[in-house]
């Protein structure tokens, strides 16, 4: 039997997306590969096409998280460029979604990438090396439901590599760590092993850590612009100005993202990122221990005995405060989680109805 959607399979299409899309007659599957403000580039079964959200879609959207992002599987009113831009009518349920807090004083989220299998957290082994930043990224990636891999770049600039790797491993609980260098071409195969046909990976990290260089090396050609970092302070300049999904020659898809010097948490899996502290807290004398001055606090004892870094614990507390949904009631918190996963309550209800109908057949 001929496989459905042979072109889109190369872009990561799975049977679950095909089944969900089948419930919408007269619409065409596509994946968003780039975004330029309100206009999107998508790939359908017949090729690349420009698209914009329909008026109905925009009217129903409940906030920024409801709009398409790079990596999303969407349903269009057409699958070719004849007649102008296609209209995006619907977003299929995201299997993973990487978000950050949008700029401003509110608690709005911004989708950076959707339907990512592996998120490479890139950190260079020069002045950019920062364990607290790595913990912040890990909290967001674990929450996204993608698999995190910390990639330490520019190993040729590091004189104490083994020590740095041990430091990262001490905070990357449950996440893989890879080391590479663009100068001597070491470590590329370790990263390439994650890029299987039909799988999608995104590269995140500060400007100048070598994300674009790494993608060029993996692609075997110069497809991403690169810029030198400033020698005075190791600060990078933005080479990537927008998110773009790229199909590699040997299969697999990669996405570069603009450098993010500081990443504000919208949501994050603090328990997963700091599972060592969560386990220590189980030994506290009081169940509601705040780990500040209570007698019998296992966390404070671990810090006193040198088993736990005080800086790591302080970051644990800081990130907890960021994702505590201060000022929101339980219903608002639940609504935020629904919007993050499904886009809106209406989309969640439609998805549940679709699953129930499939089960009843």
Domains in the chain, ordered, with CATH?
6-93+336-360 (2.40.50.140), 98-102+109-256 (3.40.50.300), 270-322 (1.10.40.50)
| Distance (Å, whole) CA 11 – CA 141 | 22
3 state SS of 97: strand
Note the pTM of the prediction, 2 decimals: 0.82
Instruction: With beta carbons less than 8 A apart as the criterion, state whether 56 and 89 touch.
Output: yes
Average pLDDT, the chain: 84
Q: If you average pLDDT over residues 284-302, what whole number do you get?
A: 92
**Cα 218 → chain centroid:** 19
Task: List pLDDT tens digits, range 90-119.
Answer: 999 999 999 988 766 566 788 999 999 999
Task: List pLDDT tens digits, range 151-193.
Answer: 999 888 888 899 999 999 999 999 999 998 877 778 888 888 9
Tokens of 156: 């040729």
Instruction: With beta carbons less than 8 A apart as the criterion, state whether 161 and 180 touch.
Output: no
| Distance (Å, whole) CA 262 – CA 238 | 14
């Amino acid at each position: 039997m001929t496989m459905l959607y042979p072109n889109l399979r190369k872009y990561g299409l799975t049977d679950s997306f095909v089944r969900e899309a089948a419930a919408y007659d007269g619409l065409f599957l596509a994946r968003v590969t780039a975004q330029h403000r309100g206009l999107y580039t998508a790939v359908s079964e017949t090729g690349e096409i420009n698209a914009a959200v329909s008026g109905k879609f925009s009217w129903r959207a409940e906030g920024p998280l409801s709009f398409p992002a790079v990596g999303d599987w969407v349903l269009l009113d057409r699958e070719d460029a004849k007649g102008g831009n296609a209209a995006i009518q619907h977003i299929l349920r995201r299997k993973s979604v990487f978000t950050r807090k949008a700029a401003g004083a509110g608690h709005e989220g911004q989708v950076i990438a959707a339907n990512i299998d592996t998120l490479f957290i890139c950190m260079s082994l020069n002045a950019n090396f920062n364990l607290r930043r790595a913990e912040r990224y890990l909290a967001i990636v674990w929450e996204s439901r993608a698999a995190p891999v910390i990639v330490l770049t520019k190993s040729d600039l590091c004189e104490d590599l083994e020590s740095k790797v041990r430091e990262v491993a001490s905070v990357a609980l449950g996440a893989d760590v890879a080391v590479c260098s663009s100068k001597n071409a070491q470590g590329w195969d370790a990263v390439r092993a994650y890029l299987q046909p039909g799988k999608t990976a995104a590269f995140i990290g500060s400007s100048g850590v070598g994300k674009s260089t790494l993608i060029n090396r993996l692609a075997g050609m110069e497809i991403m612009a690169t810029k030198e970092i400033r020698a005075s302070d190791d600060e990078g300049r933005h080479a990537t100005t927008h998110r773009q999904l790229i199909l590699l020659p040997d299969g697999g898809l990669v996405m570069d993202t603009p450098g993010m010097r500081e990443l504000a948490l919208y949501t994050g899996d603090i328990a997963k990122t700091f599972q060592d502290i969560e386990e220590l807290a189980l030994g506290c004398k009081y169940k509601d221990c705040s780990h500040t001055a209570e007698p019998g606090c296992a966390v404070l004892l671990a810090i006193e005995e040198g088993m736990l870094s005080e800086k790591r614990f302080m970051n644990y507390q800081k990130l907890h405060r960021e994702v505590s949904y201060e000022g929101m009631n339980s219903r608002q918190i639940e609504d935020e989680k629904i919007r993050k996963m499904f886009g809106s309550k209406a989309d969640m209800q439609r998805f549940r109805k679709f699953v129930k109908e499939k089960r009843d057949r």
